[in-house]
Amino acid sequence: MTRMKTIALAISTIGLLGATAPVFAGEVDELKAALKKLTERLEQLETQQKAQATTVAQVAAKAAAPAPVPANVVTAGDLPGSFKVPGTDTSLKIYGYVQADATYDLKGTFSDRESNDWASFISAQPLDKTADGKRKNQLYATARTSRIGLETSTPTESGKLHTKIEADFNAPNDYSGETLTNSQLFRLRHAYGELGNFLVGQTWSNFADLGSYVDSVDYNGPGTVPFVRQAQVRYTLPLNAGTKLALSVENPQAVAQNSPATTSFDRTPDFVANLTTTGNWGHFSVRGVAQQYRNDAHTKQGWGLGAGGSLKFGQDTLVAQINGGNGIGRYTLNSVGQRAVDDGNEIHLWKAVGGHIGYTHVWSPTVRSNLIGAYTKFSGDNYLEGLTDVNKKITEAFVNTFWTVAKNTDVGLEYAYGKRTTFAGDDGTQSRINATVRYNLF
C-alpha cells in the first residue's frame, strides 16, 4: 500500500468518525485540515523525487554516451593500418617500401640494363656463344623497385567501396638511367575499384594465383608464373566458406610474330575463370583462359590452363604451380616471346607447359630460407620447331635466405641459376647472386 493510499484511508476513517461522533466534530475538522496539508506536502516531495530521478538518469546517459568527435580529429579507419580522412567516412591506408637491389652476374647477362629487364628473364638470357653470354662478373644496383600505394574504403548504400592505386619506378629508361643520374620512370602497377562482387580497373590477371608464387629475392622469380597486370572487369561469386569463383573479361594483347604485310589487332577480350578454395591447411586454385590471335588475314584461338596451391607444415610452407596451353603466351612469363607465328598462310601457336615448386623453411621469427625449382618446355608443329633460334626448354633454380634485421627492415641474399636451350641445341646460362634490402614504410 502506497503512502497516498494510506493517507486516503486515514481521511476516510476520520470522516466516518465525524459522522458517528459529532461531539468531536471540531477536532475532526482540524485533523482533516492537517492531513490535507500533509497530503499536499507529500505530493510535492514525490514530484521533486521524480524530477531528481529523471535528472540523474539524464546525467548518467550523457556520461555514458561518447563525446562527439571534432571534424578535424584523425581516428582509426576500417582497413588495417588505416585512418579516417577528417570530415569524411572514408578510410585511407598508405603503404609501400624503399628497396635497394643488387645483382652480380658470374656468367652471362645483357650489357644494357636500362632498356632491358634487369631481373632474371631466362627466356631471353644471352646465348653462351654470344658476346653478352661470354661476359663475366658484372655488377648492377638499383632502387627502382621502391613502391608506394594507396587504399581506401568507403561505406555506400551498395556496400563498401574499396579502391587501390599503386606504382613503382621499375620502367625501362634509356635516357636518364645509369648513364646520367639514375633517374627512373614512375609506372602504374594497380589502379582499380571494388564494389560488391565487382572489380573494375587494372590489377593482376584473374589467371594469376598469387598464393602459389615463390618467395624469391629476384624481382621476377621463376618464369613459370603469369606476370601480367591488365585492365579487366571481374565478378567474384562466393560459393561457400573459403571457396569462390571469379570470372573476368580482360584486355587482350595476342600478337602473332612474323606477320608479313599484316597488322595484328584485338577484337575480343580474353576470358578468364578462376576457382579457388582456402583453409587453415593452405589453398588450391584451378584456372582457365581463352584468347584470340588475330591479324588482317588470319585468326587462331588460343587457350591456357593452370593449377596451383600451397600447403602449410607448421611454420613452413610448400607452394607449387603448373600452367600450360596452346598459345598461352603472356599468361606464363617464359612464353611471352613464344606465343604465335604467322608464316603468311596461317597462324601457328606455340604449346608451352611450365611449373615450379618452392619450399619455405622458417628458422626463427626473423629468419627464413627458400629452395625453388622450375621447368618450362615448348613444342609446336614442324614449322615452329624448324625455327632453331627459339627456346625448347628452360630450367631455373633459386636458394635464398631472408633476415628481418630490425623493425620494418628485411635483408635477402640469393643464388639464382637459369638455363635455356634452343631447338638448335644452343644454351644461354645465368649464374647470379642477388641481394636486396627493404625498408617498409610502416
Write phi, then psi, for 144 (nearest 5 degrees): -70, -15
Query: What rounded mean pLDDT belongs to the chain?
Result: 89
Give the DSSP per-residue string, 11-45: HHHHHHHHHH-GGGHHHHHHHHHHHHHHHHHHHHH
pLDDT at 157: 94
Minimal CA–CA distance to 127: which of 418, 336, 359? 418
Q: Determine the Cα–Cα distance for residues 312 and 368; give it in Å rounded to an integer.
A: 14
Q: Determine the Cα–Cα distance for residues 298 and 275; give it in Å rounded to an integer.
A: 33
Minimal CA–CA distance to 267: which of 253, 247, 281? 253
Q: Determine the Cα–Cα distance for residues 4 and 6; give it in Å rounded to an integer.
A: 5
pLDDT tens column, 294-350: 988 899 999 999 999 999 999 999 999 999 999 999 999 999 989 999 988 899 999
Q: Examine the pLDDT at 183 and tell me if it is beyond 50.
A: yes
pLDDT tens column, 123-152: 999 999 999 999 999 999 999 999 999 999
Q: Examine the pLDDT at 194 and tell me if it is beyond 90.
A: yes
What does the H/E/C string look like for 254-300? CCEECCCCCCECCCCCEEEEEEEEEECCEEEEEEEEEEEEEECCCEE
Minimal CA–CA distance to 434: which of 232, 220, 284? 220
Q: Examine the pLDDT at 248 and tell me if it is beyond 50.
A: yes
pTM: 0.82
**CATH number 1.20.210.10 is the correct assignment for the domain at 97-440:** no
pLDDT at 23: 46
pLDDT tens column, 21-33: 454 556 767 777 7
pLDDT tens column, 223-240: 999 999 999 999 999 999
Greater confidence, 78 or 38? Answer: 78
pLDDT tens column, 411-434: 999 999 999 999 999 999 999 999
Q: Determine the Cα–Cα distance for residues 323 and 356; give it in Å rounded to an integer.
A: 9
Average pLDDT over residues 343-368: 96
pLDDT at 17: 47
Q: Which three cell numbers stand for residue 217?
A: 629475392
Q: Examine the pLDDT at 97 and tell me if it is beyond 60.
A: yes
Q: Are 14 and 32 in contact (CB under 8 A)?
A: yes
